[in-house]
Structure 1
Amino acid sequence: MKRVFVFDIDDTLYDQLRAFKRAVENLQIGNQKALDIPSLYQLMKKYGDETFSSTGFDKEKLREMHVFRIKRTLQEYGIKINSKQAMQFQLDFEEYQNDIELFPRMEELLDLLVAEKQVVGVITNGTIDKQVKKIKALKLHKWIPKNNILISESIGVSKPKKSIFKCFEKALSLSSKNEIYYIGDNYLNDVLGPKAVGWNTIWVNYREHNKPIGCKADYIVQDPKSLYGLIAKLIKT
């Protein structure tokens, strides 16, 4: 039976933490060995997610958000940087995201989905310019048709809003939601969002976040190997 597997990109198909770590190291902010980089990263994502909905896709507002989120994150650790440093951090962060690769087993998983003639797609938040660069760096067009990739800026709506998932359904003429699976790392965007329109969800909880009370994810995996095993099983079911 043909199913539809739709992926998030950041921290689902590749590890964005690596680019973040390299950008933080460039800041030269003292005793970096004392910093918990994964926690710092999650905190920055939290502040970014909280402010993203109010910025829209206005480039000036997005830059203000980028400056704010890293400055606010470092304040939690008693570290102050100025706006110029914060902007340089963001530029470095973006640059290092051009040097990325798929998680282990992810290429094998995409090969399997194509070989089994499953429908593969992407829904990702972000600007067209940034996300297209990541798509090219990861060589996703090898497995995923261009028409199956939806970047939020292209329609002016971001996850977790229902309309972005409905737009994907319409674009691919999908009728049976029972066979659609969304795979992503962000609980709000990638579980609650697609669940609201009736999709199945696979929460890739690689960072081992606490499971929310009444967790709505249909499946939870802790690593790419487990994701491969789960999807291989779903295909055969």
Structure 2
Amino acid sequence: MKKILITGASGAIGSAAARSLAHSGASLFLHYYEAEAAAQKLAVALSKKYMKQEFRCVQADLSETDGTDTLLKQLNAPIDGVVYASGNSDINLFQDVKEETIQKTIQLQMTSPFRLLQQLVQPMIHEKTGKIVLVSSIWGLEGAATEVLYSMVKGGQNAFVKALAKEVAPSGITVNAVAPGAVDTPMMNKFSQEDIELVKEEIPMGRLAAPEEVGALINFLMSPSASYINGQVISINGAWHC
């Protein structure tokens, strides 16, 4: 039975990925930072539905330098796959972004996935198998005004995926990213309803993505059916940018 770590599992996309992967038969380590209640609720629900699988919550602040070590100490079994869905977004003019925000964002979305996967990829290389998916963003491909920092780290994740995939592909490991456009998650709450309606008008499909649609794509990339898809950043944005 595959054991998969999902970081940010208490979030909308992370929890949607968890439900999809659990349905496919995986046992899961469900990482959260502050939303313990949401993570525990998800674990209980999955445990009741998939009684032969294991669902364990693990806590760590991956925006801090010791976050990866804290997380790694809680993993009591080798990991067969990783979904890195932790993320944050700060909307601000470039010149107004605070130093603390810069440091925490880079740590959470660049340094922590790098250091975490340095450790978790070693047994995958030994076993000649493993799957890694990062949740990036459309802005890592296109860039966005007032989200320059977020665009930068997501663009870095995309380059990381492509480079790491080339290095570990000979060991049978796949590394990919999904790059969602506008998704109906609590992150959208920072926008007014009027702004959200304007975004919908820009999207050819006329709506936001559901977290479950992103979760299904992640599940596919983690499945044997995607065994030859490697080093790709796959957009899921309703033809908004293509």
TM over 0.5: no
Structure number with greater Rg is: 1
| Higher RCO (C-alpha 8 Å, min separation 6) | 1
TM-score class normalised by the smaller sequence:
0.3 to 0.5
Higher strand fraction (1 or 2)? 2
Q: How high is the TM-score relative to the length of structure 1? A: 0.43
